[in-house]
Structure 1
Amino acid sequence: MKKYLLLGLWLLAAKAYAFQTVFIVRHAEKQDDSKDPGLSLKGKSRALDLATHLKDAGVKAIYVTEYQRTQKTAEPLAEVLGIKPEMTDKDLAKFAAKLLADKSSDAALIVGHSNTVPDLVKALGVPVNWTIADTEFDRLIIVTLAKPAPVTTVLRY
């Protein structure tokens, strides 16, 4: 009985994180190099693949930037899950703090850019020593907010 009481107290004392799992991707392949391009056919296919991979992952929030390439990458998953994507804060430290402060304990998807994804992962407390090439669109970063430090898994989709 004492064992169960201690376990219960430990669980109550454990810090609850905003999102237990944060999925972070760069937008899918863009149509062209204009300021705000849509997705190419390959990009649209990749967005569908992302939705297929994450539809059962417990995603309860989706964050995108003001650019349609991030919005179109998230759109298939948002439609399947019935979620309205929210805009990220341009201040990545502030945005990461928001993610860490919310106590919903769900999973979230963030669709960013090659220059923002590594910085967001760093802001969530994970040391990053990699960059995303301009030609790279298939990296899926999974950040599990665990104690004593976040754990990161990188997959390709």
Structure 2
Amino acid sequence: MITILLVRHADIDLPPVTADPALNDDGRERAEALAHVAGSAGVTTVFTSSLVRTQQTVEPLLKLLGISGRLMPSAAAVAPRIRDGEFGTVVVIAGHSNTVPEVIAELGVPAPPVIGESHFDNLFVVTLSDPAGAGLLTLKY
């Protein structure tokens, strides 16, 4: 079984004042919460976008695990590689309100979630197992 933990980047000020805003105080707290929640899950690979807010979201987790993050390829490119186990059995992806649902859909979940502009607290857990296919659990963190 392969498990993928997907989050939209943690909290930023809305509306953003720059194209690449940093996390605000709530976002930094949420990033620490993600490290607490996922730190003992056996994470082998962590993906982010090239934007600072996704990188800051996983920074405490990466520090805890002693690993480096990887730049996320497109959803279509990464999904088959995740399914093949190339990145290990537990993968974390920090993305955006548009990219997280794309990845969930590419992993085989038939009705990916819609993430609202002000929603930063969703933790989507996709499990891949044959022959059951892909399952989705939505949590808050």
TM-score of the aligned structures, taking structure 2 as reference length? 0.92
Contact 2:79 2:106 in 1 (8 A): yes
Larger radius of gyration: 1
The separation in 2 between residues aligned to 1:119 and 1:144, in whole angstroms, is 16
Contact 2:105 2:112 in 1 (8 A): no
How large is the RMSD of aligned CA atoms in angstroms? 1.4
Aligned length: 138
The separation in 2 between residues aligned to 1:129 and 1:100, in whole angstroms, is 17
The separation in 2 between residues aligned to 1:129 and 1:112, in whole angstroms, is 14
Q: How much identity, in percent, do the aligned residues show?
A: 36
- 1:115-137: CA deviation from partner (whole Å, max 9, x where unpaired): 11111100001112530000000
The separation in 1 between residues aligned to 2:112 and 2:41, in whole angstroms, is 27
The separation in 1 between residues aligned to 2:98 and 2:116, in whole angstroms, is 9
Classify 1:27/1:42 alpha carbon distance in 2 versus 1 (closer, same or farther; 3 Å). Answer: same
| Residue equivalent to 2:66 | 82
In structure 2, the gaps of 5 or more residues are none
Residue 98 (structure 1) shift: 2.0
Structure-to-structure mapping, 1:1-157, within 5 angstroms: 20-31=2-13, 33=16, 34-89=18-73, 91-103=74-86, 105-148=88-131, 149-157=133-141
Contact 2:102 2:112 in 1 (8 A): no
- 1:16-42: CA deviation from partner (whole Å, max 9, x where unpaired): x6xx11100000012461111110000
Classify 1:141/1:129 alpha carbon distance in 2 versus 1 (closer, same or farther; 3 Å). Answer: closer
SS of 2:81's partner is helix
Classify 1:129/1:64 alpha carbon distance in 2 versus 1 (closer, same or farther; 3 Å). Answer: closer
Contact 1:118 1:128 in 2 (8 A): no
The separation in 1 between residues aligned to 2:98 and 2:85, in whole angstroms, is 25
In structure 1, the gaps of 5 or more residues are 1-16
Higher helix share: 1
TM-score of the aligned structures, taking structure 1 as reference length? 0.83
- Paired letter, 2:98: N
Residue 95 (structure 1) shift: 1.5
